[in-house]
Amino acid sequence: MLREQSPLIQCLLGTGYTWLVTAAGASLVFVFHHPNQKLLDYSLGFGAGVMTAASFWSLLQPAFRIASEQTIINSHLNFILITIGFLLGALFVYLADLLLPSVTSTQVFQCLSDKKTDELQLKNHQDKVSNFKLNAAVRSRLKRNQDFTKRANLPVGDSPIEEIKEINIKHGERTRWHRLLLLMIAVTVHNFPEGMAVGVGFGSIPSSSNATLAFNHARNLAVGIGIQNFPEGKFKI
């Protein structure tokens, strides 16, 4: 049924499948409240192996086969172009990892996955406030501060210490949302080459001499990306 559809429909269904598997992995947040790091490592390793095999057998190998069938353009030039495209793709992913926070960042993972993060941040802020109370040098500097002088007429119970505590908590929340935004951008950039690979796989079927074989390669590639996306989606929770 899928084989009879146009390449555009096949691309939409293939990318929709990979998105659905990613969402299925992320839905495990409703089952596992605390992620198992060892299970996650095994899953990511398995997904990496699947993607390595799929990238060669479903992308590189068909590309070299199509290049060898070309007679209009020099086949050696086609092989050079394939190599250049492969290196550019690797460079793109490397720069994405370099310029954006990695999805395997331990700091981001703990910040977004641990439900006690807010409590720990609050405790850290309370500890800082307690240390602040005991620090005579800081207290004397605050007394000389103009803002502290303006607060001299505040009602009982209001103090710069409480305000500092509130500001620190708000700063922690802003930092958390900032990390979440960066993580979303990083995941989007990482998923771009996956979607492009699925599109190239199904889009190259009409130009292949063996449409059935090309379809099987594209389908296997989409399935491999979906398998790799399941533990990746689990990690995003």
DSSP string, 84-97: HHHHHHHHHHHHHH
**φ, ψ for residue 104, nearest 5 deg:** -100, 15
Quote the pLDDT of residue 103. 46
Quote the pLDDT of residue 14. 87
What residue segments make up the domains of the chain, in order of their start?
7-235
Q: State whether the Cα torsion 81-86-87-91 is positive or negative.
A: positive
**φ, ψ for residue 207, nearest 5 deg:** -90, 0
Task: Residue 109: count other Cβ atoms within 10 Å of its Cβ.
Answer: 19
Quote the pLDDT of residue 200. 82
Quote the pLDDT of residue 176. 60
Quote the pLDDT of residue 38. 77
186 touches 101 (CB < 8 A):
yes
pLDDT beneath 70: ranges in the chain: 1-2, 33-36, 40, 47, 58, 69-75, 97, 100-190, 232-237
Q: Residue for token digits 């009982």?
A: 156
The SS3 assignment for 199 reads helix
Quote the pLDDT of residue 215. 85
| Token representation of residue 147 | 């803002």
What's the DSSP call for residue 145?
Answer: S
Quote the pLDDT of residue 177. 63
